[in-house]
Structure 1
Amino acid sequence: MTPLSFRHLNPDWNAEPNAPDVKLTVEGNTVRLTFLLNSWAYDARKGEVGALHFIGCSRWRWDSTNDHAWFEGKGLYSRQAPKWGEFYEVIGDNRPIEEDDWEVLSPDAPMSRQFLFYFRDDTIEDVAEDWSLARQMPGAG
């Protein structure tokens, strides 16, 4: 059994900390998560949007755990994850999967990985084969 660990995936970018305007769409087995990027602490322009694509996504869940609950120890991984407000790959999670907690798109693939993003007012988890980030200014391309 692999011990629970968290691989930090966004060292040089992050979501806007106060009002990220998170949106989630599903297109086949790809989940697209869009949000405003943090232009105060990272190299991003004001209004720039980040789009995470979870490719080969088998399931996802949107949890209402916010920063207050996490710091009070009531949120998902609140006593285990290194820091609130970050994007992680979760390795070694062995909690039971309750199907009614997740939006299931397909069975998990053998190479599936678990991803977790803590936004100010929400926590979003995805189980997918891979991920990518695209950046775009509103109205461009």
Structure 2
Amino acid sequence: MNKITFIQLNEHWEAAPNAPSVDVKFSGSTAELWFLLNPGRQKSSSREAATIRFVNCSRWNWDATNDHAWFSGEGRYAKQAPKWGEFYEIVGEEKLGGCVDWEVMNVDPEGARHFLFYFRDETLEFIATDWSIEREVVSPA
């Protein structure tokens, strides 16, 4: 059995802890995950949102595992992930993404990676080759 490693990808930003208003859209094989950022972590007087783009996305999953379930030990990675509410890349899985009810869009491309984001009321996972983030001002704070 392989040792799973969680690499935290969100540095200097995090999702709004109570109401991130999560939305997912697709354009071809690119998945776009939009959410509000935590105003307490921003160095701006404006309210900000972020869009994470997952390139060559082949599968994704939107799960109802929330913070209460995670802290109770429920969910696939509840006893393994270092911290709730963060954005991770999971490395070292025996089967990329494990066995869940994935929404399959394409065959996994060469170099596919597993990304996991814990929000307050849901968990999202994406199998894709890469990701990028873009921030935007949505309103004054």
Match of 1:93 in 2: 93
CA RMSD in angstroms, aligned pairs only:
1.6
In structure 2, the CA distance between the partners of 1:129 and 1:45, relative to structure 1 (3 Å rule), is farther
Return the TM-score normalized by structure 2. Answer: 0.91
1:23 aligns with 2:26: no
Cα 1:127–1:103 shift into 2, 3 Å? same
SS in 1 for 2:25: strand
Separation (CA, whole Å) in 2 of partners of 1:25 and 1:45? 28
- State the Cα distance separating 1:92 from its structure 2 match: 1.4
**1:55-134 alignment, distance < 5 Å:** 55-94=55-94, 96-98=98-100, 101-134=101-134
Residue 97 (structure 1) shift: 3.1
Q: Deviations over 1:26-54 (max 9, x none)?
A: 11100000000111034355421100000
State how far apart, in whole Å, the 2-side matches of 1:23 and 1:45 are. Answer: 24
Give the aligned residue type for 2:5: S
Contact 1:7–1:89, Cα closer than 8 Å, also in 2? yes
Which amino acid letter does the alignment assign opposite residue 55 of structure 1?
V
What amino acid is aligned across from residue 76 of structure 2 in structure 1?
L
Structure 1 residue 69: deviation in Å? Answer: 0.3
Report the AA paired with residue 16 of structure 2.
E
Q: TM-score, normalised by structure 1?
A: 0.91
Aligned residue for 1:138, secondary structure, equals: strand
Percent of residue pairs identical:
49
Q: How many residues align?
A: 137
Which residues of structure 2 form unaligned runs of 5+?
none
Letter in 2 for 1:34: W
Spell out, residue by residue over 1:1-59, the C-alpha distance to the aligned partner (whole angstroms, 9 max, x if none): 64100001002111000000000011110000000011103435542110000001000
Mapped to 2, the partners of 1:40 and 1:62 lie a distance apart of: 26
Q: CA separation in 2, counterparts of 1:32 and 1:59?
A: 13
Structure 1: 5+ residue stretches without partners:
none
The answer on whether the counterparts of 1:89 and 1:116 sit within 8 Å (CA) in structure 2 is yes
**Of Structure 1 and Structure 2, which has the larger fraction of its residues in strand?**
2
For residue 114 of structure 1, report the CA deviation from its aligned partner.
0.3
